[in-house]
Amino acid sequence: MAPPEVFSLSQQTPVTCHAFNADRTQVAVSLNSNEVLIYAREGNDWKVIDTLTEHDKPVTSIDWAPRSNRIVTSAQDRNAYVWQQSPDPQTGHMVWKPTLVLLRINRAATYVRWSPNEDKFAVASGARAIAICSFDPEGDWWVSRLLKKPIRSTVLSVDWHPNNVLLAAGSADMKARVFSAYIKDVDKKPAPSVWGEKLPFNTICGEYASPSGGWVHDVAFSPSGDVLAFASHDSSVTIVYPGGPAVYTIKMSILPLVTLTWTTEESIIAAGHDCQPLVFSGNQGGWELVGSLDDPQSNKSSGGARSGFGGASPVGRLNSAAFNTFRNAAERGISNVPGSPTTSSSTESELFTVHQNTITSVRPYDGVPGNITHVSTSGVDGKLVVWDVSAVTPIGATGLAGKLGKMQLR
């Protein structure tokens, strides 16, 4: 199994979000600030080559369109900008120039994604609305129409259906919804699907509650668009088959997941506060948690079998000084007295996972929709990691096997 590629973009600052260009030679990231840094790959390292500085509040989300090479950013300043490269009139060098987006929202923009055809994008917000933005050539700006009803709280994530019309959204009102974002002058009439046939703007095609009332952190359509998955703050992942109809919920006794993506029609990678990407597999007959892309039992560069630790602990568990002192005294008769093994201050709070803090974003890195071979993750620890999705470590021995439940839609 190929080990993950680990890059440390920042030692002290979280990576809020990231987005790669089409050939993966550049990546745009936000280091929890109002700037977007563009890195270019040089061998086994990344170097900053450009900085986008139009926002005046922290950037919340970035998306990079692979075919048109346009970047869209959203921020807490209630604005979004579309960035496109054009030659500088004085130097002739290619520079990123922003185009204004008229969002018409009065709260922070929280999440942004291009549509599959790259002719519009969706901006989630704290204003209980989603702005569907398309380009107006007369005004030379991007204009928006708002999806509002029946959203009751901040929208935390969005994802586009492959047909370029349907949009999934997860929000803090504990609901995942599927809307129609059909714009007459932009979209062709979509073909009938499991989500419906007549799809005027703001049609509600589906509404699904979080199993135990947690915020819906992330939503994602399967490669075919016929299945919806969402991750909630109640440490659950829910997979919806509207054509069944059936809903499968995997409940776990770990910290909540906040981001997910499909790799195939029958496989999902999800990550969050437990600091590692988990692998879920299944079909319309059932779903289960099958493993992790990380291997917390293997020796990390500075977190292997260390004196006083008694070997690696279960996935994602924090190796705090107090916990290990108690465990070593109870299980091994070791106490922190002169002459006995002790932990050093540099390893007292080290995890046995690659990421040392919450994973904020997981995105496809290599492959095509329906056959993703690598995914990338970024986290609060300032790391950017590329994982091989075939390198799955079984989690049966870690005590994190999920409980699978099934319920019929009403």
pLDDT, one tens digit per residue, over 226-236 is: 999 999 999 99
Number of H helices, E strands in the chain: 1, 30
Which residues are bridge partners to 166 per DSSP?
180
Q: Distance between CA 80 and CA 181 in Å, rounded?
A: 18
CA atoms within 13 A on the CB side of 385: 30
Residues of the chain with pLDDT > 90, as a percent, come to 76
- Predicted confidence at residue 91, as pLDDT, reads 86
- Predicted confidence at residue 395, as pLDDT, reads 74
CA atoms within 13 A on the CB side of 379: 26
Is residue 329 very low, low, confident or very high in pLDDT (cuts 50, 70, 90)? low
Which of 279, 282, 280, 275 is closest to 296 using CA atoms?
275
Which of 209, 159, 168 is closest to 361 using CA atoms?
159
Mean pLDDT of the chain: 87
| 161-169 mean pLDDT | 97
Residue 155 pLDDT > 60: yes
Specify the pTM. Answer: 0.86
Alpha-carbon separation of residue 73 from 29, 290, 361 (angstroms): 10, 34, 15
Strands across the sheet with 204-209, in order? 155-160, 166-171, 175-180, 204-209
Q: Distance between CA 123 and CA 111 in Å, rounded?
A: 6
Residue 38 pLDDT > 80: yes
- Predicted confidence at residue 332, as pLDDT, reads 46
| 11-37 mean pLDDT | 96
Where are the strands (E) in 265-332, listed by range? 267-272, 278-283, 286-292
Structural contact between residues 132 and 126, judged by C-beta atoms closer than 8 angstroms? no
Q: Distance between CA 297 and CA 57 in Å, rounded?
A: 40
Residue 405 pLDDT > 80: no
Q: Distance between CA 366 and CA 272 in Å, rounded?
A: 21
- Predicted confidence at residue 74, as pLDDT, reads 98
Q: Distance between CA 382 and CA 103 in Å, rounded?
A: 30
| 240-264 mean pLDDT | 95
Phi, psi values for residue 150, rounded to 5°: -105, 35
Is residue 288 very low, low, confident or very high in pLDDT (cuts 50, 70, 90)? very high
Q: Supply 11's token pair.
A: 């030692």
Element (H, E) at 326: helix 321-327
Residue 407 pLDDT > 60: no
